């Protein structure tokens, strides 16, 4: 029977606090038939879950669209729940029943509804890192039918209601371009309130807003000097009345048991300072101070538009041991981002002190030098009287190892657990093959994503940095989209990129931008924006989300930002086509860099012009997708001019590329900048450079992501496999052989002799080089979307076996449902099995060149193993 299942609104199931005035709805087709395509849908939206009165009825719409269907009914009201359902027909003549009802609930769409003020504890000092508490009470005199809290903060906040935690989101309100965008969250608290007296409690921490940031520059108070709460609770009663409880000067404030909390440095908590009942009705708060009302712009408030950070996994330690230096250390077996939950028993005043590290040194001792100034320290002071369990509140660490510096009595492994934290995203992709080391590499890529997708795409989760470096994000985004459902995550971050983009179109190195305005300690900080390969995230990231999810709206919203970046470069490029000015980060941390340099040997003007060409081509495609034909034609012409100028500047008449580096040759192949007559020579030179390096890569952040692709797309599949499967230094699998559980920042982060790269910048959880994961899915397994039908509406399933692998498979949850591809070598050739979700199709391309268009269902194919060159 045909059914519509897994109903979603804006990528979420039954979301609260939707800020979109035209939310988008989607569903998945479920049926036992094959080759199923939706032929029509009918949507109904109602204020009632029984649909006794329908607000919007589309009628039968002849369309195969089942993803991101835009609401087009009457204007939506604030703080209102809308129920919706869908029924569909398919190409087999079936009509589904109405789906189970889903709902979405709007946030505060009309700013005039706000009654709250930003309130701050009196006397808070700019350099204070102490947690502060606020409270109020209210009396409710009726039967409560509906209650919501809408809240945010300057800093971070946690809420309680009648002594119970509100929600399970962490680090709210998240990190945005605070001067321009401040998210608020919506909570359903209907079941937490009661008739009579009720109490609201809030705990504030300095967080990203006023805490320590950019450790190597020693910056804090970047957005303000005081934490503050913004809170509005709306209660509706059975008799139709509505009551609002809002933050104002009547709230009371006090210090709390969080003596110190900083993102980088950790948390100090004194349980003796707890006040039982402080967030319950009837507590005597006469000794507390009145809250102070702050003047703050409410127009920047925006409903939550990214996924929440939550506790995702609990990992027990795998061992507790003593190092050669006498340190007691827990090993959790996995490098991760999060914190440690522990249970302890002892006397009042006794302490638990924990420190965190990613790695042990060559002697097996606890190693923290690469954390730089980050203390990564947790101190808990016991209140005594029984077992006490603790988790931090406003900090997190990147770690595998935890040193127990102080603990009452003998610590036991079962008293500790690592809590993995990252933004809430559906796990969408899996890859496996016959080579265990590649499977371990895939594992490491996934865990670097988890460790660095904590509200924003950070570079690393452990040291005094953890910033949203744009270059790291753009090289990794395609891989990220396979592993996790990242559309909402990047949508939120790209809005901040556009918000922090400078008026002239230049794009900061990091988003949110916390480097502009910093003391000019070096050339890099004198212009912390507009580096090629980094700022190009403004174009590459929205285009990638569009390709992976079919999300046209992200192109609509980011198009101004995308265009502004390309025009910024055009205004500074020689004759509008060759970009040879400005400061660039280059092929970051490439092995061919000069001694003492972070940037590789590839000339910056070549990289800059190559990326300028690439972004211009993607901008032209984006304009075409949006129906902006004039822009599309104009940027296509500009792209052609850039390519011609690039070829004149960087290729000799005989076809030699002027820069003899791996990255130069990779980029010109990947971005199609090679004259057709010189492609063969360019590929051969890249192979020669590879041989000269002993079959190893010497590339950095910008060259590495495209290396395997540059080879496989140019008839050198086995050379790409040979590169991927290298096990000695430097290589992807070298890290695996060194027991890495995440991706390293440097190929030589840990050298074969046991020494490490400079502690100044040596993260062992840094996803940039994990961008090869894209090639695992798209080439090794062979699962991809057709660029002409984005969002996996039509898939390309093209397995490309090699490297001695006997089998490989990939599974991916597309917007239409699960897709899978698996291939096995057999005596007669290759056996390929594909699964295509309903309402989608796939072009299956076998190694012998045979092409077949298939519909939904599971099918198998056999062919000879010989790869056909194209």
- Catalytic center residues: 465, 745
Contacts of 230 (CB under 8 A, 6+ apart): 116, 117, 118, 119, 151, 152, 153, 154, 184, 247, 296, 301
Residue 487 exposure: Cα atoms within 13 Å on the Cβ side: 23
- The b/e string for 467-485 (b: 16+ C-beta within 10 A; e otherwise) is bbbbbbbbbbbbbbbbbbb
**CA–CA dist 620, 381 (Å, integer):** 60
**CA–CA dist 718, 715 (Å, integer):** 9
- Residue 155 has φ and ψ, to the nearest 5°, of 110, -150
Q: What is the dihedral of CA 532, 535, 536, 540, to 10 degrees?
A: 150
SS3 content of the chain, % helix, strand, coil (to 5): 25, 30, 45
| Cβ contact 541:561 at 8 Å | no
**What token pair was written down for 624?**
């075409």
DSSP characters for 10-67? TTBSS-SSB--SS-EEEEEEE-S-SS--EEEEEEEEESSTT-SSEEEE---EE----S
Contacts of 164 (CB under 8 A, 6+ apart): 192
The candidate with the shortest Cα–Cα distance to 425, out of 472, 476, 488, 475, is: 488
Q: Is 724 exposed, middle or buried (0-12, 13-18, 19+ CB in 10 A)?
A: buried
Sheet of strand 196-205, all strands in order from the earlier edge strand to the far edge: 164-165, 156-161, 196-205, 132-140, 252-255, 289-290
For residue 535, the 8-state DSSP code is T
**CA–CA dist 496, 177 (Å, integer):** 6
Q: What is the dihedral of CA 396, 397, 403, 409, to 10 degrees?
A: 10
Rounded to a whole number of angstroms, the CA Rg of the chain reads 28
Measured CA distances, 669 to 46, 96, 255, 750 (Å) = 53, 49, 60, 31
Residue 80 exposure: Cα atoms within 13 Å on the Cβ side: 16
The candidate with the shortest Cα–Cα distance to 433, out of 834, 44, 822, 157, is: 822
- Residue 182 has φ and ψ, to the nearest 5°, of -130, 115
Q: Is 34 exposed, middle or buried (0-12, 13-18, 19+ CB in 10 A)?
A: middle
**What token pair was written down for 147?**
């209650």
Cα–Cα–Cα angle for 142, 146, 148, nearest 5°?
A: 115
For residue 371, the 8-state DSSP code is G
| Cβ contact 182:176 at 8 Å | yes
**What token pair was written down for 253?**
């404030």
| Cβ contact 288:199 at 8 Å | no
């Amino acid at each position: 029977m045909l059914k519509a299942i897994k109903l979603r609104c804006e990528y979420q199931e039954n979301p609260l606090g939707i800020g979109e005035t035209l939310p988008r709805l989607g569903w998945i087709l479920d049926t036992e038939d094959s080759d199923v395509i939706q032929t029509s849908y009918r949507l109904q939206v109602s204020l009632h879950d029984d649909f006794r009165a329908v607000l919007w009825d589309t009628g039968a719409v002849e369309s195969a669209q089942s993803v991101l269907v835009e609401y087009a009914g009457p204007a939506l009201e604030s703080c209102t729940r809308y129920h919706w359902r869908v029924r569909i027909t398919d190409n087999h003549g079936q009509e589904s029943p109405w789906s189970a009802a889903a709902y979405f609930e709007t946030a505060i769409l009309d700013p005039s509804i706000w009654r709250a003020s930003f309130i701050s504890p009196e006397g808070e000092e700019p350099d204070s890192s102490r947690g502060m508490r606020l409270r109020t009470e209210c009396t409710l005199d009726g039967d409560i039918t509906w209650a919501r809290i809408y809240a945010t903060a300057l800093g971070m906040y946690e809420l309680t209601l009648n002594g119970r935690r509100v929600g399970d989101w962490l680090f709210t309100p998240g990190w945005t371009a605070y001067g321009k965008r401040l998210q608020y969250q919506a909570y359903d608290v209907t079941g937490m309130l009661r008739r009579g007296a009720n109490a609201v409690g809030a705990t504030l921490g300095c967080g990203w807003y006023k805490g320590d940031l950019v450790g190597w520059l020693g910056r804090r108070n970047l957005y303000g000097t005081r934490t503050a709460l913004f809170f509005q609770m709306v209660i509706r009663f059975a008799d139709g009345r509505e009551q609002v409880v809002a933050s104002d000067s009547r709230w009371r404030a006090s210090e709390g048991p969080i003596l110190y909390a900083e993102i980088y440095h950790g948390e100090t908590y004194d349980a003796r300072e707890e006040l039982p009942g402080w967030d319950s009705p009837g507590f005597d708060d006469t000794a507390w101070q009145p809250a102070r009302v702050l003047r703050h712009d409410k127009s920047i408030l925006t409903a939550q538009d990214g996924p929440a950070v939550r506790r995702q996994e609990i990992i027990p330690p795998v061992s507790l041991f003593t190092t050669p230096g006498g340190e007691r250390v827990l090993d959790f077996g996995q490098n991760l981002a999060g914190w440690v939950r522990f249970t302890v028993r002892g006397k009042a005043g006794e302490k638990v002190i924990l420190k965190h590290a990613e790695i042990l040194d060559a002697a097996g001792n606890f190693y923290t030098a690469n954390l730089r100034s980050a203390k990564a320290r947790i101190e808990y002071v016991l209140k005594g009287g029984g077992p006490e369990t603790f988790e931090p509140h406003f900090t997190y660490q990147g770690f595998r190892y935890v040193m127990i510096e102080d603990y009452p009595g003998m610590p036991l492994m079962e008293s500790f657990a690592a809590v993995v934290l990252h933004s809430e995203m559906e796990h969408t992709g899996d890859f496996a093959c016959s080579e265990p080391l590649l499977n371990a590499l895939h594992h490491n890529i996934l865990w670097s994503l988890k460790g660095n997708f904590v509200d924003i795409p950070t570079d690393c989760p452990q040291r005094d940095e953890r910033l949203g470096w744009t270059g790291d994000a753009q090289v990794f985004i395609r891989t990220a989209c396979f592993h996790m459902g990242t559309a909402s995550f990047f949508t939120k971050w790209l809005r901040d990129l556009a918000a922090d983009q400078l008026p002239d179109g230049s794009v900061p190195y990091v988003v949110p931008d916390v480097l502009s305005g910093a003391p000019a300690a070096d050339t890099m900080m004198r212009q912390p924006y507009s580096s090629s390969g980094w700022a190009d995230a403004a174009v590459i990231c929205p285009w990638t989300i569009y390709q992976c999810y079919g999300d046209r709206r992200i192109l609509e919203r980011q198009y101004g930002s995308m265009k502004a970046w390309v025009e910024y470069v055009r205004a500074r490029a020689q004759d509008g086509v060759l970009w040879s000015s400005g400061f660039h980060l280059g092929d970051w941390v490439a092995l061919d860099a000069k001694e003492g340099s972070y940037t590789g040997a590839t000339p910056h003007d070549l990289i800059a012009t190559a990326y300028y060409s690439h972004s211009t081509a993607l901008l032209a495609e984006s304009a075409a997708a949006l129906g902006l034909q004039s822009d599309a034609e104009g940027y296509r012409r500009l792209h052609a001019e850039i390519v011609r100028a690039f070829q004149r500047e960087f290729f000799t008449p005989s076809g030699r590329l002027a820069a003899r580096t791996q990255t130069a040759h990779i980029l010109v192949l990947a971005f199609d900048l090679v004259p057709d007559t010189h492609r063969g020579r360019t590929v051969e030179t890249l192979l020669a450079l590879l041989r000269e390096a002993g079959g190893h890569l010497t590339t950095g952040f910008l060259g590495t992501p495209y290396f395997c692709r540059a080879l496989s797309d140019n008839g050198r599949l086995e050379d790409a496999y040979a590169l991927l499967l290298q096990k000695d230094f430097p290589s992807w699998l070298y890290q695996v052989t060194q027991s890495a559980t995440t991706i390293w920042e440097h190929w030589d982060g840990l050298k074969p002799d046991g020494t490490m790269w400079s502690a100044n910048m040596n993260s062992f959880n840094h996803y940039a080089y994990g961008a090869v994961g894209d090639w695992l899915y798209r080439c090794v397994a062979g699962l991809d979307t057709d660029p002409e039908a984005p969002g996996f509406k039509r898939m390309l399933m093209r397995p490309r076996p090699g490297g001695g692998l006997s089998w490989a498979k990939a599974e991916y949850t597309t917007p239409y449902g699960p897709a899978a591809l698996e291939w096995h070598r057999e005596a007669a050739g290759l056996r390929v099995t594909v699964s295509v979700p309903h309402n989608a199709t796939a072009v299956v391309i076998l190694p012998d060149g045979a092409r077949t268009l298939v519909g939904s269902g599971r099918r198998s194919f056999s062919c000879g193993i010989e790869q056909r060159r194209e």
